[in-house]
Structure 1
Amino acid sequence: MAKPTVAVLFGGRSSEHGVSCVTAGGVLGAIDRDRFDVVAVGITREGRWVPASADPSDWQILEGDMPEVTGDGRTVLLPAQTGERTWSVVGDDGIVAPFAEIDVVFPVLHGPYGEDGTVQGALELIDVRYVGSGVLASAAGMDKQFMKTAFRSAGLPVTPDVTLLRGDRVVDYAAQVDELGLPLFVKPARAGSSMGISKVSDLASLESAVADAVKHDPKVLIEKAVVGREIETAVLETIDGVRASLPGEIVTGGDHDFYDFDAKYLDEASVDLVSTAQLPPDVADRVREVAVAAFRAVGAEGLARVDVFVAADGAITVNEINTMPGFTPTSMYPRMWAAAGVAYEDLVATLIETALVRPVGLR
């Protein structure tokens, strides 16, 4: 039988464009070419879908510079209706030619216009199978305000916060902010990779922190800082059900007050990524249970990373769920599964195979 063809989709219009490209490099290098045919489709910062290199070495961080999708003048076109597998490419001359017959898409887009249900909706319209969560779960997982609403409804403990919508003034929420107390974290509601996040220890700097977050999203969360260890758990859905890895831990050092963008991608020497956190067995079990509960609360599918804080007394507070976590070989999600004996290549294959057998349409 012919091998299934996987389209790795990456780049995108969000501020996490470069991070997505790096993730694509990891996935492209991990897909078993004996089991799957692979094509790469990049999305430029302007939103143009283009044929891209499927060579993982083309999507690496070089001397601190993130890779970027630029294109060569050609544009990838999706099928016009359901039941068609052939994607096309059109050149500057207007001539349309076949590109590839796609069986499943592996979208490694991070942030808005990709991880938030928009691309998932486009693929749903033409019945294309894809790895990861559907439209609603992707949207809820991207928007921290509605993510927390889903978690609260499921009885999960979350960080107290104040949400500022477009045009809201910080001064109008002074009483609510005072109730939260210092220190605070200010976050764009719909961004990732710690972009636009600030830790505020002095209310005089709150306005500037909100202004920085607004550069990434007009909706902003002001959260009470939680004292605790930063614990992450990888959740994986297979044809046999949903399971969680043993929890891992992020330990930051150097000049990083928290796990910010530079610590994640540009100053790895200052961060200790502990694949298996040293937690009491009962606490580790509860963290895993909370991770699966968070996964189910937003209706996630395929994969997710759930981040929590664990206090000294063992109390657990859910920070967020990431429905398309960083997925390079050195990212925490695959590292945690590697610690459980699941190799990176096998993890990628499992996600693709699970997506291939998932029904199209409403699910």
Structure 2
Amino acid sequence: YPCFVKPANLGSSVGISKARSQRELVEAIHLALSYDRRVIVEEGIDAREVEIAILGNDRPMASVAGEIIPKREFYDYEANSPDGGAELRIPADLTPEERRTVEDYAIRAFQAIDAAGLARVDFFLERGTGRILVNEINTMPGFTRFSMYPKLWEASGLAYDKLLDRLIELALERHAERNQLLRSYDKA
């Protein structure tokens, strides 16, 4: 303890709890199970949260990194709203080595799951040790003008309307590629 409990397949910090005891852990698991049939329990660590936006299909690109600095105890659902008590720092204050590492890990995570179009990869940078951990890959990140994904690309020099155009191009590219695949099996 402490540990964090969250539904495995939700976003926007819905259903996440911090548990400091066995009783709180049981309550947190029940809450998470009310949102999803799978639950993740993570070790609580003292870390910064850094995010990278990925754009592409077979040759993905990484945005600048951004950092979420919660004004609450942790980045919960309320902190996830535009006025909910978190500061977004873009670009994140990283050393050149940390920046290269998170960009490399983000692209490798995207490729490892054969993602297409877009994803946001979230990291923990553990204070005290400097250890960099992939927290999660979000294959359908929030996409309002206030969301981290488009803000990261804007800070990287790609405006919102151009980002939308590029995502449409990538979707058409992937669709054309998939249309070339066989759709039936004929043994003869």
Q: TM-score, normalised by structure 2?
A: 0.89
Provide the rounded CA distance (Å) in 1 between the counterparts of 2:173 and 2:9.
30
Amino acid across the alignment from 2:105: V
Q: Are 1:288 and 2:103 matched, yes or no?
A: yes
| Displacement after TM superposition at 1:267 (Å) | 3.7
Aligned match of 1:327 = 143
Amino acid across the alignment from 2:36: D
Contact 1:275 1:332 in 2 (8 A): no
CA offsets 1:166-191 (integer angstroms, 9 cap, x no match): xxxxxxxxxxxxxxxx1100111222
Q: Which of 22, 36, 45 in structure 2 is aligned with 1:217? A: 36
Contact 1:187 1:213 in 2 (8 A): yes
5+ residue gaps, structure 2: 183-188
Q: Are 1:187 and 2:6 matched, yes or no?
A: yes
Amino acid across the alignment from 1:207: V
Provide the rounded CA distance (Å) in 2 between the counterparts of 1:207 and 1:314.
31
| Displacement after TM superposition at 1:220 (Å) | 1.4
Amino acid across the alignment from 2:94: L
Q: Which of 116, 119, 127 in structure 2 is aligned with 1:304? A: 119
Provide the rounded CA distance (Å) in 2 between the counterparts of 1:185 and 1:327.
25
Q: Are 1:248 and 2:63 matched, yes or no?
A: no
Runs of 4+ residues deviating >6 angstroms: none
Q: Which of 153, 156, 166 in structure 2 is aligned with 1:337? A: 153
Provide the rounded CA distance (Å) in 2 between the counterparts of 1:330 and 1:295.
23
Q: Secondary structure of 2:135's match?
A: strand
Residue correspondence of structure 1 range 1-363 to structure 2 within 5 A: 182-237=1-56, 241-253=59-71, 256-265=72-81, 267-268=83-84, 270-312=85-127, 313-358=129-174, 359=176, 360-361=178-179, 362=181
Identity score, percent = 46
| Displacement after TM superposition at 1:314 (Å) | 2.5
| Displacement after TM superposition at 1:226 (Å) | 2.4
Contact 1:213 1:220 in 2 (8 A): yes
Number of residues of Structure 1 aligned to a counterpart in Structure 2: 178
Contact 2:57 2:116 in 1 (8 A): no
Structure with higher RCO (Cα < 8 A, 6+ apart):
2
Contact 2:125 2:132 in 1 (8 A): yes
| Displacement after TM superposition at 1:257 (Å) | 1.6
| Displacement after TM superposition at 1:238 (Å) | 5.8
